[in-house]
Each structure stands twice: as structure tokens, then as C-alpha cells.
Amino acid sequence: MSDHTSFSGFYKKTLQERHDILKELGAVEIFPKPLTDEVANQMVENYITPYTLPLGVGVNFIINNKEYVVPMVTEEPSVIAAASNGAKRLGNIQAKVLTREIIGQIALTQVNDPQTLAQKIVEDKEKYLMIAQTYCQSMVKRGGGPRDLWVETHIGELDHYVTVYLSMDTKDAMGANAINTVLEGLGDHLQETFHVDPLLCILSNAGDRNLVKAWVEVPFSQLHPNLERAERMALRIAKASEYASIDPLRAVTHNKGVMNGVDAVVVATGNDWRAVEASVHHYISRKGHYQSLTQWTIDQEQKILYGQIELPLPIATVGGTLSVHPTAQWALELLNNPNAKELMEIVASVGLAQNFAALRALVTHGIQKGHMALQARSLAMQVGATVEEVPQVVRALRKQPQMNREVARNILLKLRNNECKH
């Protein structure tokens, strides 16, 4: 795509003008094929009708020196605007997948000597990895397959459990079905060999081996043209980041803001946002307390603000819902058909930009100024304003000391009464 400055004032343009800009930049056709009843009926049980959410695009993103227009699905005002603004201010975001493997577990019960069994399985680790490979030959041929195996014992009130953990490279697929097939096959083998009961054979949504990192270096001068104000802003962002790392109640909202951006891209690309949420919140609690997803620090001498995010992202670019949902396929085309690792890097970068925009707003003019400007549109529509009336209601709402449905309704009634008089 061409220079990202083409998106200057993108939010102010009409819908048709936005479509035209994307077409000029070589983007895919603006309107993907709709989700048909025939396809949707095969996706879920007791299907009735499609449920739609707004799909917008995050702009100004440069990730690993490549420009992206990022599809984002969300119903919350200000999310896409904040992500786009954050991306513009951050500039080139660097990102790298640290590891991409999913984890599964076989919980064995009715074990006479848990420690001895665990030792025997570990000693024959390579043999069991070879057996596991026989249950996913197509994945092995694509360069994936089982990668590691380890064993732990757990003591409960009802039984002693020997748990065999398996990690697996599923390439560009999410891999839930693939690893579950492997686990069930290996579980049967262990049952036959050791006369134990494989209570459950299932993947884990823990993402300890499915990690991506994104980071950025921002000169103070990019934060504000006035250096003194820029330094103050950088310090306040760093303090806000530090505070989120020590107060769990703040960390929850801090991370929710990050996930506003992460989930929006995950949903747009047809991925499982519940798996992502479960994986992320497990990962940031791994040290025994809930903590922040991002870290922002400053180098006072170099006049640089550093930001980084590290999180698990169990997402894919082939298979599952995204292989049959037309809008998910369109979204991946808009991103130039990334592989799974590239998509992880894109999503992490959006989360970092989203967080920066939120912190910047919080430590300067506050979160409500920008949020309520967009919320005014929602209020206008909630009280029944037509497309033509919305801009007038929004302008009047923004002049009021308070914005709520009652105020919006009164403004709309007054507007219509004045029109009737004329």
C-alpha cells in the first residue's frame, strides 16, 4: 500500500470516500460476501439468524516496516479511533513471535505408584513423541507436530493424578482438533501399556508456549512539539504503567483496554476470542498475582519512551471458522494473507497501540473527552435520531454539561419541533 498519510482525517470522510481510498490503495473489494443461512446453519446448533457487529479498519499501522490496514470488529465507540491514533504516534512497531506451540494434557488416574509411572514415561519420552506423531501425519508433513513431552503428578482428595503434557507445533492452524486427536491416541496407548485410566485427554488454553512480543521506542519529540510537555507526558505514561503493575484493580481495566484492540482483530479474522482471553489472563497471573500486560519506561538521558507487550495468542490463519466465514476470509485478505505468526505480530501491535492511546488520554485530558465525543453519536441513535438528524443532535449534546439519553431525547424533540414550525 502507499504512504499511510493517505489516511489523514479518515474518520471525517464519508463511507463512500473511505471505500474509495481503500480501493486506490489496492485493498480487496470493500464488501465481502455475506454469511448465508446455509453456511451459518452448519456453524452452530439451533441457528436462527446472523448477528452483526460493526467492522471498521485501524489505520496508520506500520509493523516491522510494513504498512497495514487492520480489520477490527467492535461495538464500542473510540476503540478503533484510539488504536489508529496510537499507531500514528508510535510509528514503526517491532514485533516477534517468541514461540508458537499449543499444549495438551492427559490426566491419568487409578495409578498405583504415581512417581514410578511418571519416571518411566519421562525416561521413554522420545518413544512417546514418536507414537504421538503417528496420530498427526499430515501435520508432521507440513513441518509441524509434537515437540515436547513432560510429566507432573497432582494429589487430590479423590485420587492421585499423573499428567502427561504434550506441546505441538500446529503451523498456521489453531490446532485444537489436531492435538486432541493426538492426545486421545496417546492416552489409549498409555492405558493399554500401564493399565491406568486416562480421565481426560484435552488441549489446554494456557499459552505459555504460544507467545508474541511487540515493542516500540518513541522519542519524546513524537509525543508533543513542546519538549517540556513531551517529557512530562512520557513520565506520566511510565508512572501509569508502573501503577498498573502494582495495583491489580487498575491492572484489570488497563488490560481490558489492551484487549479492546486485541479482541477486535481476533474477532474480525474469525479466531476464537474466548481462547485468547483465557490464555492471556492465565499468563498474566502466572506469578501468583494479576499484573499488567504492557510496560512503559523512560530513558531520561536519551529522551525516549519505551513500550512493550508480551502475550499468548492462540490464533490461526487456516482451518476452523475462518475457513468458512466470508468476512473472516476478507479480513485476512485485507491484511495481505498473513501466516499465523505474522497475524500474532499484528494483533500484539494493535494491543500495544491501543494501550498507548488509552494511557496518553488518561494522563493528559482524561479518558472521557474523546470517549464521550464518540458516545454522543450512540446516544443520538438510541433516542431515535435519523441519519440526517444525528450530526445536529451530536453537536448540541457536546455543548451540554452532561450527556445521557434524557438530554439527547430532549434535544431531538426540540430539533423536530423547530423543524415543524418552519
Please, are residues 30 and 37 in contact by the beta-carbon 8 Å criterion?
Answer: no
Catalytic residue among 33, 120, 127, 256: 256
pTM of the model: 0.90
In 3D space, the residue among 292, 403, 304 whose CA is nearest the CA of residue 358 turns out to be 292
Least confident of 32-46, 66-80, 274-288, 347-361: 32-46
Burial class (CB in 10 A: 0-12, 13-18, 19+), 200: middle
Average pLDDT, the chain: 92
Positions of CATH 3.90.770.10 in the chain: 94-99+211-365
In sequence order, the β-bridge partners of residue 215 are 94, 308
Q: Cα(337)–Cα(314) distance, rounded to whole angstroms? A: 17
| 3-class secondary structure, 92 | strand
In 3D space, the residue among 93, 85, 87 whose CA is nearest the CA of residue 371 turns out to be 85
Please, are residues 353 and 83 in contact by the beta-carbon 8 Å criterion?
Answer: yes
Beta strands 294-299 and 304-312, pairing class: antiparallel
Residue 371 annotated to the active site = yes
Residue 208 annotated to the active site = no
- Using the structure block, give the residue that is written with the C-alpha cell 470488529: 73
Instruction: Reply yes or no on whether the pLDDT at 28 is more than 80.
Output: no
pLDDT recorded at residue 366: 62
pLDDT recorded at residue 24: 80
pLDDT recorded at residue 306: 98
Instruction: Reply yes or no on whether the pLDDT at 3 is more than 50.
Output: no
For 230-251, write each residue's pLDDT tens digit: 999 999 999 999 999 999 999 9
Q: Measured at the alpha carbon of residue 111, what is the angle toward residues 106 and 116, in degrees to the nearest 5?
A: 95
* Amino acid making up residue 363: V
Q: Cα(173)–Cα(82) distance, rounded to whole angstroms? A: 30
Question: Is 370-420 a domain of CATH 2.60.40?
Answer: no
For 335-391, write each residue's pLDDT tens digit: 999 999 999 999 999 999 999 999 999 998 766 665 666 678 888 888 988 888 888
Beta strands 92-100 and 55-63, pairing class: parallel
Q: Cα(27)–Cα(31) distance, rounded to whole angstroms? A: 11
Positions of CATH 1.10.8 in the chain: 370-420
Burial class (CB in 10 A: 0-12, 13-18, 19+), 192: exposed
Q: Cα(363)–Cα(77) distance, rounded to whole angstroms? A: 20
Instruction: Reply yes or no on whether the pLDDT at 413 is more than 60.
Output: yes
Query: Which set of grid coordinates corresponds to residue 288?
Result: 501468583
- CA dihedral for 296, 300, 302, 303, sign (positive or negative): positive
pLDDT recorded at residue 104: 97
For 257-293, write each residue's pLDDT tens digit: 999 999 999 999 999 999 999 999 999 999 899 999 9
Catalytic residue among 272, 342, 345, 389: 272
Q: What is the DSSP letter of 411?
A: H
Catalytic residue among 76, 148, 242, 310: 76
Q: Cα(343)–Cα(338) distance, rounded to whole angstroms? A: 6
Most confidently modeled range among 10-19, 40-49, 251-260, 385-394: 251-260
Average pLDDT over residues 10-21: 84
For 316-330, write each residue's pLDDT tens digit: 999 888 889 999 999
In 3D space, the residue among 281, 272, 276, 203 whose CA is nearest the CA of residue 248 turns out to be 281
CATH class of 94-99+211-365: alpha beta
Q: Which helix (H) or strand (E) holds 252?
A: helix 248-268
Positions of CATH 3.30.70.420 in the chain: 102-204
Q: Cα(103)–Cα(116) distance, rounded to whole angstroms? A: 23
Residue 148 annotated to the active site = no
Query: Which set of grid coordinates corresponds to residue 165?
Result: 503434557
Greatest Cα pair distance in the chain? 90
Alpha helices for 124-247 (secondary structure H): 125-133, 137-141, 176-194, 220-223, 227-246
Please, are residues 129 and 373 in contact by the beta-carbon 8 Å criterion?
Answer: no
Catalytic residue among 254, 325, 341, 371: 371
| 3-class secondary structure, 165 | strand
Please, are residues 168 and 175 in contact by the beta-carbon 8 Å criterion?
Answer: yes
Residue 299 annotated to the active site = no
- Architecture of the domain made up of 102-204: 2-Layer Sandwich (3.30)
Q: Measured at the alpha carbon of residue 175, what is the angle toward residues 162 and 352, in degrees to the nearest 5?
A: 100
pLDDT recorded at residue 416: 82
- pLDDT: which is higher, 419 or 407: 407
For 84-140, write each residue's pLDDT tens digit: 999 999 999 999 999 999 999 999 999 999 999 999 999 999 999 999 999 999 999
How many Cα neighbours within 13 Å face the side chain of 322?
Answer: 27
pLDDT recorded at residue 323: 85
* Amino acid making up residue 171: K
Instruction: Reply yes or no on whether the pLDDT at 2 is more than 50.
Output: no
pLDDT recorded at residue 1: 43
CA gyration radius, the chain: 25
Helix and strand counts by DSSP (H, E) for the chain: 16, 10
Average pLDDT over residues 42-49: 93
Strands, E assignment, 193-339: 197-204, 210-219, 294-299, 304-312
Q: Cα(56)–Cα(53) distance, rounded to whole angstroms? A: 10
